[in-house]
């Protein structure tokens, strides 16, 4: 429980954020989050672009743009068929 009326980062066991100019920029952070979101959606939906796009609330054409931007291929997230007999 936080002492006082406001919750501080230390109350949540959060590491202090980097001062401005250190670590990653907003642009880098956005790029990382976009990449992670696309990968997670593709993984969850086994490479199905329409479902993955819906998951992150973008249109399929926008999702294709994100795939290109992050150099990802939806086929890499599709299950490999079991070819054993």
Encode pLDDT of 27-41 as tens digits.
999 999 999 999 999
Within-domain flag for 82:
no
Within-domain flag for 53:
yes
pLDDT at 85: 61
Within-domain flag for 40:
yes
Within-domain flag for 55:
yes
Range of the domain at 49: 25-77
Within-domain flag for 3:
no
Within-domain flag for 16:
no
- What are the residue ranges in the chain where pLDDT is below 50? 21
CATH number of the domain within which 53 lies:
1.10.10
Within-domain flag for 72:
yes
Tally of structural domains, the chain: 1
Asked if 13 and 2 count as a contact pair (C-beta separation under 8 A), the reply is no
pLDDT at 23: 57
């Amino acid at each position: 429980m936080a002492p006082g009326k406001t919750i501080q980062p230390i109350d949540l066991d959060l590491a202090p954020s980097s001062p401005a100019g250190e670590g990653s920029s907003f642009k880098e952070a956005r790029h990382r989050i976009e990449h992670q979101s696309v990968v997670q959606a593709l993984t969850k939906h086994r490479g199905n672009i329409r479902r993955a796009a819906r998951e992150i609330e973008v249109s399929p054409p926008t999702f294709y743009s994100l795939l290109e931007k992050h150099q990802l291929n939806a086929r890499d997230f599709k299950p490999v068929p079991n070819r054993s007999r």
